Structure formats: structure tokens, C-alpha cells
Amino acid sequence: MIDNTKHKGLRQKLVKVLERKGITDKAVLEAINTVPRHLFMDSSFLDHAYQDKAFPIAADQTISQPYTVAFQTELMKVEKGDKVLEIGTGSGYQTAVLCELGAKVYSIERQRELFKLTSKFLPKLGYRPKKLIFGDGYKGLVEEAPFKSIIVTAGAPFVPNPLLAQLDIGGRLVIPVGEKVQIMTLFERKGPKDFEKTEFGEFKFVPLLENKN
């Protein structure tokens, strides 16, 4: 697994592109600058790894566009040591970005093939999430709740209540909501029953799937 000066140069360019598109959080940009995205993709897409685009991975899924990863991560406001939950491990790229930020990461994937591949792959790069789980993200991870932040990396037709319930007070849920296109939505938990909702622009994700394995 090679990460050479050419890859590093391409990453720096990608970071510039993300800055131009409005990403300002230095820690997030530094994480993108560090994680070798090309290693999370099929080798036939190597040339595309540092374009700001989504790409196919195993099991008909996609690795999210870098801008989307950066945008969602920025909204999470991760601080070192935060306990965070990711729904949709996929390639593990977003997981790695969260590890770079010093978060204690729990991540759920419902496709066994991806779960297995990514569970083996992340430690090879030195990324050690707290726990990778094969399961249904709609349920969250009640035994580890509450979380400082929760990120959903697939398009949710509705906001699953367990995810709101598993947020810490002051916690943040970042979730793309919608069927064909999704509105990036932030829920901040202000009190036990008090959530503040903010909507951002449109994004396009693969669907968050229900009841299938």
C-alpha cells in the first residue's frame, strides 16, 4: 500500500478545492490532507481518488465525495476524545477522518461484505475505531449511548428516533434526509426533549436501507 509524494501533492490540491468550496475547519482539512483516500478505493479508480467526486466501492455502494465528508464532519464539531457514532461504514474513509480528529468512533454497516473488508482494512492503515458493528443503523447503538455526535452517511427517508434519543445533551446529529435528493440536516440536542433543527443544502447519497441483510 503505497502513499507517495505524488499522492500527498494531490491531497494538498484537494484540500485547496475544499477550501474554495467553503470548508474552513482547519482540523477537518488537515484530516483530509492526511487520510490516503486512494487506498480506500478500487485500484482501477486510483487516478480519480483526489478529485472531488464520489466513487463506487464494493457491494454497489459509494465512497462519499470529499466535499460531503468535509461538510458533514465540520457540522459534527468533533473534539478530541468525543464518542461518535457513524451509520454506514462503507469503505471506512469517513471513519478514518473521524479517527484522525481523535474521536472514539463506533460505526455500523449493514452489508456483511463491506463490514468484513473494512474491519480488516482500517487497522492495516493504523486506524483503530472503538468498534465496527455489523447491524442496522436505524437502531443506533443503544448500549454505547449517549454520543457527542452521530453522522449518517446514507440518505435517510426519515429521521430515526433512536438516533435522536442516543444523543448527549449538547450533542449533534448530522443526517441527509430525503428520498431522491437529501437535505443535509443538523439536530442539536438542547435538552432531554428539546432539539434544534437546521437545514443546509441538497446532497445525493445512496439510500439508508431498512430491514434487509
Active site residues: 64
Q: What part of residues 6-65 is at the interface with ligand SAH (CB under 6 A)?
A: 61-64
Does 178 help bind ligand SAH (rule: CB under 6 A)? no
Q: Round to whole Å and give the CA distance between 64 and 52.
A: 9
Stretch in the footprint of ligand SAH (CB under 6 A) among 23-31, 109-117, 164-172, 183-191: 109-117
Q: For residue 186, state whether it binds ligand SAH (rule: CB under 6 A).
A: no
Where b means 16+ CB within 10 Å and e means fewer, 99-115 reads bbbebbbbbbbbbeebb
Q: Are 85 and 144 in contact (CB under 8 A)?
A: yes
Contact 48, 63 (CB under 8 A): no
Binding mask 79-108 for ligand SAH (x = CB under 6 A): --------xx-xx-xx-------------x
- CA of residue 114 relative to chain centroid, distance: 15
**Quick check: 160 binds ligand SAH (CB under 6 A)?**
no
* Residue 114 in the binding site for ligand SAH (CB under 6 A): yes
**Cβ pair 184, 71 in contact under 8 A:** yes
64 contacts: CB under 8 Å, gap ≥ 6: 54, 90, 93, 94, 153, 205
Minimum Å gap between C-beta 181 and ligand SAH is 16
Instruction: Please identify, using beta-carbon distances, which residue of 137 and 171 lies nearer to ligand SAH.
Output: 137
Binding window for ligand SAH (CB under 6 A); candidates: 19-27, 42-50, 135-143, 164-172? 135-143
73 scored as a contact of ligand SAH (CB under 6 A) = no
Q: Does 209 bind ligand SAH (CB under 6 A)?
A: yes
CA distance to 173, 199, 210, per residue, from 85 (Å): 9, 20, 18
Binding residues vs ligand SAH (CB under 6 A):
61-64, 87-88, 90-91, 93-94, 108-111, 114, 136-138, 153-154, 206, 208-209
